């Protein structure tokens, strides 16, 4: 593989840091274990290098050279450093701070209690962990913003796409088996009797609290929010706009110490106690009873979807029309139900399809539609689905005729990588750079080992 194509790949991995989520960036058992490099006033940790190396291995990287992954991260940090100095890039520090608590609670929901989570991630307290989350999100925002500013005018012509393909076709990967899928997804509806049961249970809990039970103890016993129940339902430093609208509207209409009537949200039913309010920030406790459908309610939803499937097969409506009219999935209903892959295209590798869906698709061909089946969404809520196979693309060697859009994106990514490389090189002479001595033997592509300068 030529050096230029290597650079294209590495800068692709380098931009991965800007698009990952908190779970991908904050690894259990990893904390500061030494500084690998300093760029301006930005720092690359040894744990950062290790994480990127492991990610590259998982993604089938053609190299596992630690030096190349360090250079990738140094590139990244230089962009972050320059972005913070760019007056045309909006400061988002306040908004980032607002999102930290939500992400902290999201991670907390994966553990029985806060102590277990802090131990798993090797933080001494929640303050340290929230600082780490804030730093990750800050780097992601500034890195993305500077990358976009540098590459905003990048484009490729048809001739450039053809030239790129002709130059690199022997190095381009074989395309694995792919499919294009569309879906109609529904949340099973609770019966009125089931809703009343949840509401009445919350009313009784509220009455028990009024009768002397503490909100904290009742939350620990009854709340189905795994992230907050161990803490007595407490959520601290909630910023306006952070919670779903029904929850926030109810919470902010309370006086401190007051408890709401049952409130319905997309997660289920809550009672909420406003603990403290100061400006745009408030603390609240809640007890959540999730709107988990019964087997009978799931069956009813599946029957409805199967009747919709019948209308589609009878050509009384198209799958696209049915998705728009009936689907509860906001990400796909306005796009003919089309499910997009990780690269934003409609083509999905068969081997990456989740097991439940893969099982339902077994034996089906192009234009076939599954019968209704139950699944879970990304928040592990019960859903029912119909999936249509829009297209089947067998494994093949990449060509301009069959994969023009994919090749065009590769060519565009290469051009963007070259623009980033040019920008980075222009900043090297005037940026302070210090790399730990353990990397003295590295043969970097960029002139990172220059004598450090300060502006």
Indicate the burial class of 117 (C-beta count within 10 angstroms; 0-12, 13-18, 19 or more). buried
Full DSSP string of 231-265: GTTEEEEEETTSS-HHHHHHHHTSPTT-BPPPEEE
Q: Is the pTM of this model over 0.85?
A: no
Tokens 């959540």 correspond to: 288
Q: For residue 60, name the pLDDT band (cuts at 50, 70, 90).
A: low
Cα 178 from Cα 393, distance rounded (Å): 5
Which strands, in side-by-side order, build the sheet including 348-349? 348-349, 178-186, 382-393, 373-376
Nearest to 75 by CA among 31, 42, 35, 53: 42
Half-sphere exposure of 370 (CA within 13 A, CB side): 23
Cα 10 from Cα 72, distance rounded (Å): 6
**Is the distance from CB of 265 to CB of 281 less than 8 angstroms?**
no
Residues 6+ positions from 276 with CB-CB distance below 8 Å: 256, 282, 283
Residue 112 confidence (pLDDT) above 90: no
Residue 61 confidence (pLDDT) above 80: no
Tokens of 31: 């904390």
Half-sphere exposure of 385 (CA within 13 A, CB side): 24
Cα 181 from Cα 432, distance rounded (Å): 50
Percent of the chain with pLDDT over 90: 57
Q: For residue 14, name the pLDDT band (cuts at 50, 70, 90).
A: very low
Cα 30 from Cα 352, distance rounded (Å): 28
The reported pLDDT for the residue numbered 342 is 73
Q: Would you tell me the crossing angle of helices 114-121 and 126-151 to the nearest 10 degrees?
A: 60
pLDDT digits (tens, 9 = 90+) for 336-375: 999 988 777 889 999 999 999 999 999 999 999 999 999 9
The reported pLDDT for the residue numbered 2 is 39
Cα 176 from Cα 130, distance rounded (Å): 40
**Is the distance from CB of 202 to CB of 186 less than 8 angstroms?**
no
Cα 165 from Cα 171, distance rounded (Å): 10
Cα 232 from Cα 294, distance rounded (Å): 27
Cα 338 from Cα 340, distance rounded (Å): 6
pLDDT digits (tens, 9 = 90+) for 287-341: 999 999 999 999 999 999 999 999 999 999 999 999 999 999 999 999 999 998 8
Coarse DSSP helix, strand, coil percentages of the chain, rounded to the nearest 5 percent: 50, 15, 35
The reported pLDDT for the residue numbered 33 is 52
Percent of the chain with pLDDT over 70: 89
Tokens 């277990």 correspond to: 116
Cα 450 from Cα 365, distance rounded (Å): 59
Residue 115 confidence (pLDDT) above 60: yes
Cα 179 from Cα 393, distance rounded (Å): 6
Tokens 């859009």 correspond to: 405
């Amino acid at each position: 593989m030529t050096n230029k194509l290597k650079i294209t790949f590495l800068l692709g991995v380098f931009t991965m840091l800007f698009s990952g989520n908190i779970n991908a960036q904050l690894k259990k058992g990893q904390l500061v274990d030494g500084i690998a490099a300093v760029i301006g006033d930005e720092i690359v940790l040894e744990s950062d290098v290790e994480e990127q190396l492991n990610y590259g291995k998982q993604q089938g990287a053609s190299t596992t050279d630690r030096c190349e992954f360090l250079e990738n991260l140094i590139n990244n940090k230089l962009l972050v450093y320059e972005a913070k100095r760019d007056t045309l890039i909006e400061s988002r520090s306040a908004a980032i701070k607002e999102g930290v608590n939500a992400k902290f609670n999201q991670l907390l929901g994966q553990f029985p209690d806060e102590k277990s989570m802090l131990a798993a991630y090797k933080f001494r307290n929640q303050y340290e962990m929230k600082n780490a989350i804030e730093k990750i999100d800050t780097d992601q925002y500034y890195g993305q913003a500077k990358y976009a500013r540098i590459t905003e005018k990048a484009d490729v012509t048809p001739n450039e796409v053809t030239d790129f393909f002709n130059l690199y076709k022997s190095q381009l990967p074989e395309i694995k088996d792919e499919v294009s899928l569309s879906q109609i997804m529904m949340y099973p509806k609770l019966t009125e009797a089931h809703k009343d049961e949840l509401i009445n249970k919350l009313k009784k809990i509220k009455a028990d609290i009024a009768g002397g039970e503490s909100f904290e103890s009742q939350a620990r016993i009854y709340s189905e929010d795994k992230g907050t129940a161990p803490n007595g339902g407490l959520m601290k430093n909630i910023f306006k706009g952070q919670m779903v609208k029904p929850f926030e509207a109810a919470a902010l209409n309370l006086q401190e110490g007051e408890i709401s009537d049952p409130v319905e949200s997309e997660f289920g039913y809550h009672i909420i106690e406003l603990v403290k309010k100061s400006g745009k920030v408030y603390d609240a406790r809640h007890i959540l009873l999730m709107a988990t459908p019964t087997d009978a309610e799931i069956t009813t939803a599946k029957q409805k979807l199967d009747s919709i499937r019948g209308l589609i097969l009878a050509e009384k409506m198209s799958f696209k029309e049915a998705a728009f009219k009936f689907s509860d999935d906001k990400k796909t209903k306005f796009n003919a139900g089309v499910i997009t892959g990780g690269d934003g295209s409609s083509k999905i590798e068969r081997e990456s399809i989740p097991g439940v869906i893969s099982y339902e698709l077994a034996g089906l061909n192009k234009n076939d539609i599954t019968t209704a089946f139950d699944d879970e969404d990304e928040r592990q809520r019960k859903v029912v689905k119909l999936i249509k196979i829009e297209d089947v693309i067998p494994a093949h060697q990449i060509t301009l005729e069959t994969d023009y859009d994919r090749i065009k994106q590769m060519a565009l990514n290469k051009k963007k990588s070259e623009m980033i490389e040019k920008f980075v090189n222009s900043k090297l002479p005037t940026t302070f750079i210090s790399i730990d001595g353990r990397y003295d033997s590295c043969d970097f592509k960029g002139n990172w080992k220059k004598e450090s300068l300060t502006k």
